[in-house]
Structure formats: C-alpha cells, structure tokens
Amino acid sequence: LSEQVKAHKKDKNTSAETKSKYAQIVMTLEATRSRPGEPVQIEKTTNSKNTFYVYRAATRWAALERAAVGLKAYKKADNDADKKAAYQVMLTAAADLVRYPADAQPGLPSSGFVAAAKALGDDVALSAVAKPASEFKKTGPTEKRDKLKDANTIQKIDGWRALIFSRLVDVNSPWIDHAAVAALTGCRPAEVASVRIERIKNALVITIPGAKVSETKGQPIRRFTIAKDAGPEFAHLLQRAKNGPLILSSDSTASAFSEALKRAGKQALGDKAPTMTGYIYRHALACDMKADGADRDSIAAALGHAVTKTQSHYGRATGGTKGARVFQIEAERPIKQTHGTGQHKGRDIAPTNAPEPAPVKVFTSPGFEL
C-alpha cells in the first residue's frame, strides 16, 4: 500500500477538474459499502461499461488519497486508539484497491478480491460482483434519471425538507449546516463543504465555489442572497452566522454527507419514500424554480451552469415556493442560450444569436430587497 501511495503522489496527470469529478462520484459510491471497511460496489450504481471505468478510476484515486492520510496518521499516532483508527482507514482503502485493480472489468472481480473473499467465507461480497458482463451496456441510462424521478416523487410529500432537517437536528448530525445550505441553494454534494455563509441584516449570502468547472463550463463562483425563506434551514443558518461569516468544511469524507441524508430520509419519511441524497435537494430546487416561472438563465445560474440546455436533466415544474423563498442569484460567467428559441412558463427565451447577458444578478425573485 505504501508503494502505491508513493507512486500516486508522483502522478501529476490528474487535473483539478477530474479530481472534483472523482470526489463527487465517490460520495455516491460510499453509500454502497455493505459494512464499514468493506469495499464499495460500483456495480450497484451503473449499468454502463463506460461509467464503470470512470467509477473504477474514481474509486482507485480516492482509495489512494485515503491511504495516504491513513499512513501519515499511523506514523504520527502516539496511542493505540489513534493507531487503530488510522489502520482502519488503510484497510478500507486497501479493500477498494483489491476489489478494483487498474484493469478491473465490469462483472469480473479481481483475482485478489476473489481469493480474499473466499478465505473469509464472504459469499455476500462475491455475489455482489457476480453481475454478468452482458448486463453492462456501452451506453445506457445513468443515475441522473433516477435522481430526477426521486426528486419529482419527493416533491409530493408535504414538508419533506423540514422533516429531514428536523431529523438531522434531533440526532445532532455534524452535517446540519451542510444540509441547510444544500436545501436552500441546491448546490452539489461536492460543493457543500466549501461554501461561505454571511449574514447581512436579516438576509443570508451564500457563496459557492463551483465544481465541474473548466475554462468554458460551469460557474467558478455563484452567490445566493436569500432575503426570506419559510423553512427551518434559513432560520438555522441566520443564527449560525450571527457572529460573523461561517465557512463550512469537513473532517470526514464527503460521502458521509450523502449517507447521513440517506439515513435521515428513511427515518423521517419512511422506507417507501425515495432514497434521499444531496442531489435530491439540487433537483428539487430546479423543480421549484420551474414551477415558480423562473427563466432558463436563472435556473442555469442557480445550478452552477454556464449554458441553459443542461437544466433539462433537472426536475419538472412541480412544487414551487409560492413566494416562501425570496432570493437573488449572481453568477460569475454569462449564461449562454443553448435551447434556441421557445417559451418556458410564459416567458420569452432569447434566440441563440442574442448578446450575452451581464454575469451579475442573473435572477431576482419578486419582492427581493435588502
């Protein structure tokens, strides 16, 4: 493991954009561990060969990052408890690396993993990767469709956001602030641990450094100024930021956020409700904005997109805040019209040859003022 970590540290070919993408994927995969310390199960999240290979790369990158942290902590540990914790981190990383070597194929567990599972008599682990390769398609549905379906379904449950948030508060979750930000802004799980929260008068200003950003794609920075919201998340963050700016971070793995939401969702909404993830908040924001009649520029800015077309993957016009949330969005980059012309909720959509709008104050909801 130490040798692999050394080689990993020398590899400078992984871009910041790719690392951000990998971190986002790993958040989804963490929820597939059957038990703590067991390897992730990529086969549970995709039916596409191409996606499997991307997830394999993300798994290995994250495992080596984790192993590096574990090795460093183990060397510095001055008591048995800290050594044990660091050793467990390394074991989890090793489990992922053994299960998914660099040449792993969909439906074909590595020889090392098979040998380890047999030695431990772990038939469950073996059956989890026994998915026939024929079930993996070169192209196929991605998990975006499931998230979209879940978001449209959960919108029908009255007060679902408040129920989940209350559950997180009841168990004193370390992810309360993060969930509040995600509920209000729909930011990506990979973004939530790096936002800045300020209070100006009785409004919240939430600044989000974007993920999935390149020289032409995404919004490097977007800023929500929320003057009013009826939910408990708004009141919670107003209180948290009363003494000065708050910058969120996490000492845990980012995937723990998604797992915490999943548990809270089941406990608050029941087993029949859609599985809760950070992305449900994101899709729900798009649902609300579409139902409230927001134009495509506004929705793109809120989601951290630089073009209008990509929002078609996010939510239907269901729910709506009916004025319960009053906010303004500022985006760093202009929003490019990639839908062509048409109508959306009664508003004109600019033609593709329209001049680019100014990259500030993309959207202001009715009644907004500070």
Rg of the chain over CA atoms, in angstroms?
22
Q: Which two tokens stand for residue 41?
A: 């199960």
Residue 153 structure tokens: 């379904």
Range 202-231 average pLDDT? 90
DSSP notation for 269-291: H-TTSPPP-HHHHHHHHHHHHHH
pLDDT of residue 13: 81
**CB 14: neighbour CB atoms within 10 A?**
13
Nearest Cα residue to 25 out of 57, 48, 49: 57
Q: Which stretch of DSSP H or E encloses residue 196?
A: strand 196-200
SS3 at position 348: strand
Query: Nearest-CA neighbor of 104 among 131, 123, 122?
Result: 131
- Residue 60 CB neighbour total at 10 angstroms: 20
Q: What is the pLDDT of residues 54-75, one digit of tens each?
A: 899 999 999 999 999 989 999 9
Q: Residues 154-165: what's their mean pLDDT?
A: 90
Summarize pLDDT for 233-274 with one digit per residue, the tens.
999 999 999 999 998 876 555 567 888 898 999 999 998 888
Give me the percent of the chain exceeding a pLDDT of 70.
79
0.85 cut: is pTM over it?
A: no
Dist. CA 89–CA 76, nearest whole Å: 14
